[in-house]
Structure 1
Amino acid sequence: MSSECLGSDGASTGYDRWRRDRWEEMAGPEGKAGLIAHRPITEPGQQLPEVPGRWTSTGFSGSLTLTAARAENVSVDGHAVDGTVELTGASRLSFPGGRRGTVEELRGAHALAVWDEAAPTLVGLRGIEAWPWDPAWAVEAEYRPADAGRLLEVTRVTSPGVRESFPAPGDFAFGLRGERHTLRAFGVGGDTLLIVFTDGTSGMDTPGMGRWLILPRPQDGTGTARIDFNRAVVPHHMFSAAFPCPLPPRENHLPARVEAGERAPVFAEEAAVGSATGPAV
């Protein structure tokens, strides 16, 4: 284990810090558990049930506009809307009742994400169950770049489910518990790679839709990388059903039980959830 993750007393201090940051990401004031809607904008003058206004997209290479009257109490970047305004990925929207919105520009389409600090999933989130840190679950892997432009078709968890092609720039090959494995990685923007995988715990101790490993792309495009299953996380969809998360490709199944990383979110009984105390660190 790197020195970053070990304190002088041998405790996994880096891992503890990562767990606290992860808790803040999910349960903090702007936590992901507060997402209540993720709405693609596909029609001119489209109206959404969660927020006021009329929304029009002309496609990824075009514009996204919002039309609202001043009485609807919508603001963009702190300015009240009274008419039509053009939005960008940097726009920050405010709506009545403390709700807020962010704009996404993703693979040929615009979408609006709506957040609510009073969402039951955010208010009711009590913790994220995880196995104890174990350095044996951190392994060295070989990164193997794929052919330029490789895409993998996967299903997103939406209603109804949709198939979508994701860029898959490379694979990670490694040994685990005496067996060799290869996991395919998606490109999710910048130099970040996402591995969506299942293992022997999936559907029992961990979500049936798998877990995630979020890794930096090797800077030289090849070589070795460190995969730490202690930092496997449950998908955002388990904190809010509004997240249209991808399901793992068939190739990304590990037959062994990976008893490392997150297991499930834990909610108060009254929270309306699709899945499961301050963080156990």
Structure 2
Amino acid sequence: MTDTAIRPAAAGADTDTAAREAWAAWHAERERALTAPHGWLTPVALLWLRAQRRTLPGVPGLWWADDRGAHVLAVDDDGLVDAADTTATLRGERSWEVVEDGSTVVARFLPPGRDPLAAPDDVEVVVELVRRTGRYALRLRDPQAATRARFTGVPTYPYDESWVRDAPVRWYDAPQRVVVGAAQPGLVHDATLVGEVDVARGGVTRTLRLVGTPGKDGVALIFSDEADDVAAWRVLHTARPAHGSPTIRLDLNRTLNLPYAFTDFGTCPSPVLGNHLPFAVEAGERAPRRAS
């Protein structure tokens, strides 16, 4: 199969200008989301819970996990407040359950030495409870993280209309469950494959598999490629076309870095086996500059 099997999206001068402007707006919104007070530039720790009650570095309270969920034992002096009601201090024992691969913010606290009169989103650390590979962990998100303070933007390749493609797609009759790796050693993720798509460049075509995105009307293409200055793998989220459509629109200019590329505390899924393109995808986000 050659490049002729993939139809570039139609574009004239006006269409190209509009597409570039839309991409610029999308990129600006992407950076605004990253720099949110507790966004993906702010994780500072990933702390795994054990069966025994214990203190954890950097977070108040005694924490543990068992078959009933994750738990904390807190007293007033701990300064933990309920994420759902920031006027309520956590006292005594509290418990939560999270589904596999899920997460929820359960508490907030003000670290010692920070101004209690400042805006909470400027100074308070949030405690996110995550469940991965059957285990619970706390991910701490600090608005004063060095990663956020030193952020100067996500480097990208220039917008290139040739990376916008209507690619042949084949939907599976039934979703296929597979296990993939993760950014953290020892973790795995369950992935739901919903179809496969042909991606071509320079006369080379590869078939990659698409992952369903629960709760969203779209699919994700998680892949690696041969470009030099990119993360080990990236993701493209795209809308799912009408049922029966023989093609799917892939705008690789909107290829994103997953959270693990910005922080050491991401647990992102890796590509399904074989989702590698043997050519450089010089489109979308490049490897981000890390704070040191």
Q: Is the 8 A contact 1:156 1:245 kept in 2?
A: yes
Task: Quote the residue 2:194 is aligned against.
Answer: 169
Task: Quote the residue 1:226 is aligned against.
Answer: 249
Structure 1 residue 162, shift from structure 2 partner: 3.2
1:64 aligns with 2:90: no
SS at match of 1:32: coil
1:96 counterpart (87, 91, 110): 110
1:131 aligns with 2:133: no
Task: Quote the residue 1:23 is aligned against.
Answer: 31
Q: Is the 8 A contact 1:125 1:265 kept in 2?
A: no
Structure 2 unaligned residues grouped into runs of 5+: 1-8, 98-102, 112-123
SS at match of 1:148: strand
Structure 1 residue 263, shift from structure 2 partner: 1.0
SS at match of 1:142: strand
Structure 1 residue 242, shift from structure 2 partner: 0.5
Residues 198-217 of structure 1 show CA distances to partners (whole Å, capped at 9, x for unaligned) of 1121xx2212x222112234
How well do the aligned residues superpose, as a CA RMSD in angstroms?
2.8
2:144 counterpart (110, 113, 118): 118
Aligned-partner Cα distance in 2 for 1:263–1:170: 27
Q: Is the 8 A contact 1:100 1:115 kept in 2?
A: yes
Task: Quote the residue 1:73 is aligned against.
Answer: 79
1:181 aligns with 2:206: yes
Paired residue type of 1:177: G
**How many residues are paired up?**
261
SS at match of 1:265: coil
Structure 1 residue 13, shift from structure 2 partner: 1.4
Q: Is the 8 A contact 2:48 2:138 kept in 1?
A: yes
Aligned-partner Cα distance in 2 for 1:104–1:139: 36
Residues 137-184 of structure 1 show CA distances to partners (whole Å, capped at 9, x for unaligned) of 0111233233635233322122x3434442223222244333332111
Q: Is the 8 A contact 1:7 1:13 kept in 2?
A: no
Q: Is the 8 A contact 1:140 1:174 kept in 2?
A: no
Structure with the greater alpha carbon radius of gyration: 2
1:36 aligns with 2:23: no
Structure 1 unaligned residues grouped into runs of 5+: 273-281
Paired residue type of 2:108: S
Q: Is the 8 A contact 1:185 1:196 kept in 2?
A: yes
Task: Quote the residue 1:84 is aligned against.
Answer: 93
Structure 1 residues 64, 221: closer, same or farther in 2, change over 3 A? Answer: farther
Aligned-partner Cα distance in 2 for 1:235–1:32: 9
1:155 aligns with 2:181: yes
Structure 1 residue 128, shift from structure 2 partner: 1.1
Q: Is the 8 A contact 1:233 1:262 kept in 2?
A: yes
1:205 counterpart (221, 229, 233): 229
SS at match of 2:58: coil
Task: Quote the residue 1:255 is aligned against.
Answer: 278
